[in-house]
A = this chain, B = another copy of it.
């Protein structure tokens, strides 16, 4: 590795002191214009780049943000794109680490970044995580920390998420309006806020229409296609099988769809299906799957903005929680009453 030019080299060549070069570089007022020009010219020639490490060490900030995500699926990578957008603008570089939904990995990643590599964190917790000590360490160091998407009450930090309850409500109400009577829900892991909130929305909708919730129709299963597939098979083998399923992610909706097709049932006639996330795939399968769309890119941007506010304000922002609105997108999988005179929006 070739040695890059430093401020010292410039000083030596111009026969001036290091401090003067440093000042000239930062365009400080108390430097002679000629000197400034000479410094600039030479630094250009030597292709001088200030050493970020030395800078960070000196002023105790790195201008890096650590972003910890459980994976990089469609939704999260869109959110990360949003974070990136705003962060770059504000002069931050983001370091993305995926924990692969693994608790251990999450800890390792956090610890690594914590070692003076970043100024703070933007976090979406892994589905496996039930203990938050590694994140609390961040707070002990009084580093800025923002949570997004998967927000948890166990972490007192500013956050941004979508209105999951509303999303769950929209999905469920829509199914009810379509005349479905026995609506099952594939909720995610119990320890995840987004699971419970979407479940709450489901329950709220049932309540509004005076439908008594049936315990057997509420399934907590892992956040993936395979589990959803199996869970759906079990649902469909029940004596009184459900006539609609709401899954709290599209991955799970796909799993459910496969089980439904295998069973020879038709959507939406025999059974209705609504997913969550509105990933591109749901519009490509047949029938298209209704899904609750969330403003992922926007959410990422808000997360980064919150982070930057936290840095600047430095006041306690832990009470701040921004909530964005999701919106149900209706497709064939759940539409059995053709809309007339605008009853279905």
Query: Which residues of A approach B to under 8 Å, CB–CB?
Result: 1-2, 4, 49-54, 56-57, 60, 62, 64, 71-73, 77, 80-81, 84, 88, 93-98, 100, 108, 112-117, 140-143, 254, 257, 280-281, 284-286
Report whether B60 and A1 are in contact in the complex, using a CB–CB cutoff of 8 Å. Answer: yes
Starting from the known contacts A81-B98, A96-B96, 7 additional A-B residue pairs (CB-CB under 8 Å) come to: A1-B142, A1-B143, A49-B115, A51-B116, A53-B62, A81-B100, A94-B97
Which residues of chain B have C-beta atoms less than 8 A from A88's C-beta? 108
With A1-B143, A2-B142, A95-B95 in contact, do A53 and B116 touch (Cβ < 8 Å)?
Answer: yes
Interface SS of chain A: helix, strand, loop or mixed? mixed
Closest to A78 in B: B72
Can you tell how many copies of this chain the complex includes?
Answer: 2
Question: CA separation between A254 and B284, bound complex, in Å?
Answer: 8
Question: CA separation between A108 and B94, bound complex, in Å?
Answer: 13
With A53-B62, A57-B57, A285-B285 in contact, do A93 and B72 touch (Cβ < 8 Å)?
Answer: no
Closest to A140 in B: B2
Please pick, from B51, B60, B73, B77, the residue contacting A115 in the complex, using a CB distance under 8 A.
B51
With A53-B62, A54-B57, A142-B1 in contact, do A93 and B81 touch (Cβ < 8 Å)?
Answer: no
Question: CA separation between A140 and B141, bound complex, in Å?
Answer: 39
Which 4 pairs, one residue from A and one from B, show the smallest C-beta to C-beta distance?
A: A72-B77, A52-B115, A96-B96, A286-B286
Please pick, from B1, B100, B117, the residue contacting A93 in the complex, using a CB distance under 8 A.
B117
Which residues of chain B have C-beta atoms less than 8 A from A280's C-beta? 281
Which residues of chain B have C-beta atoms less than 8 A from A1's C-beta? 60, 141-143
The distance from the CB of A137 to the nearest CB of chain B, in whole angstroms, is: 9
The distance from the CB of A254 to the nearest CB of chain B, in whole angstroms, is: 6
Closest to A56 in B: B53
Which residues of chain B have C-beta atoms less than 8 A from A80's C-beta? 72, 98
Please pick, from B53, B77, B98, B285, the residue contacting A53 in the complex, using a CB distance under 8 A.
B53
Which residues of chain B have C-beta atoms less than 8 A from A98's C-beta? 80-81, 84
Which residues of chain B have C-beta atoms less than 8 A from A73's C-beta? 77
Can you give 5 A-B contacts (C-beta < 8 A)? A51-B57, A51-B115, A72-B80, A72-B81, A81-B98
